[in-house]
Amino acid sequence: MLTSYDDAVAGTADGSTVMVGGFGMAGMPVELIDALIRQGAKDLTIVSNNAGNGDTGLAALLAAGRVRKVVCSFPRQVDSWVFDGLYRAGEIELEVVPQGNLAERMRAAGAGIGAFFSPTGVGTPLAEGKEVREIDGRTYVLEMPIRADLALVKAHVADRLGNLVYRRTARNFGPVMCTAATTVAVQVDRVVEVGELDPESIVTPAIFVDRVVPADSVAATRTEEVA
């Protein structure tokens, strides 16, 4: 369960779909993304709420030329210059998904739901080409689950089993992403012994988590690089 940033993303294949947690920089797993850049996988499809901020984290992965497509709700922000440049140059594909449908599509994947009817987006360009159905007088659009090969998530504290608690609004997409990916790698501020987390407070139970990286392995990774 406990591992380093580099081992947490080892084996990521070219062409993988990777979920990246965070709402802007809150909950962005920056060190795991840096490890994915070092690992070298390319032609990636990224599923995230945004498309990178500034020059770090997801923006750095985009700048490294590793991403073929971004699936997100809100790419355009004051500090999304890396994505904006790639998009305007035609070097990256974009699928815009309403934020609630994005979250629910991941939830559906993680919960084994084949598809679901959502009222969000009905009658808009984002529902074009999708099956529509009227249920009890209201119109809904069929939305498919989103699965990933790898999820990169940031949480606050993990125990050694992989039970997670988050911190404030940095929680956002983390819990649903943990349920929807084949391999789930989580970086945390600290790791505690089994039994130290209040069972009533655990947000993501360990069954959804594969790899946990404590924050202090930053130093370990950097030392190895220097060596």
Partner 1 sequence: MSRDKHQIAAAIARDIATAHPDGAFVNLGIGQPTLVADHLPEGSGVVLHTENGMLNMGPAAAEGQVDPDLTNAGKIPVTELPGCSYFDSAASFAMMRGDHLDVCVLGAFQVSQTGDLANWHTGAPDAIPAVGGAMDLAIGARSVWVMMTLLDKQGRPKIVPECTYPLTGVGCIERVYTDLGTFEITPEGVVARDLAGTTYDELASLLAPVRLLRP
Q: What amino acid occupies position 117?
A: F
Closest distance of CB 126 from partner 1, Å? 7
CB 143 to partner 1: min, Å:
12
- Contacts with partner 1, 108-147, as mask; x by CB under 8 A: ----------xxxxxxxxx---------------------
85 scored as a contact of partner 1 (CB under 8 A): no
Using the rule CB under 8 A, which residue among 4, 8, 27, 82 binds partner 1?
27
Candidate list 62, 166, 183, 184; residue touching partner 1; CB under 8 A: 166
Contact with partner 1 (CB under 8 A) among 113, 170, 215, 220: 170
**How open is the CA angle 67-155-96, to the nearest 5 degrees?**
35
Q: Which of 168, 199, 201, 227 binds partner 1 (CB under 8 A)?
A: 168
Binding of partner 1 by 76 (CB under 8 A): yes
Stretch binding partner 1 (CB under 8 A), from 7-15, 40-48, 59-67, 170-178: 170-178
End-to-end CA distance of the chain: 25
User: In the set 29, 52, 57, 75, which binds partner 1 (CB under 8 A)?
Assistant: 75
SS3 annotation, the chain: CECCHHHHCCCCCCCCEEEECCECCECCCHHHHHHHHHHCCCCEEEECCECCECCECHHHHHHCCCEEEEEECECCCCCCHHHHHHHHCCCCEEEECCHHHHHHHHHHHHHCCCCEEECCCCCCHHHCCCCEEEECCEEEEEECCCCEEEEEEEEEEEECCCCEECCHHHCCCHHHHHHHEEEEEEEEEEEECCCCCCHHHCCECHHHCCEEEECCHHHHHHHHHHC
Among 12, 60, 158, 171, binds partner 1 (CB under 8 A): 171
User: Which residues in 29-68 contact partner 1 (CB under 8 A)?
Assistant: 49
Which region among 35-43, 58-66, 79-87, 208-216 touches partner 1 (by CB under 8 A)? 79-87
List interacting residues with partner 1 (CB under 8 A).
Answer: 23-27, 49, 73-77, 83-84, 87-88, 94, 96-104, 106-107, 118-126, 166-176, 203
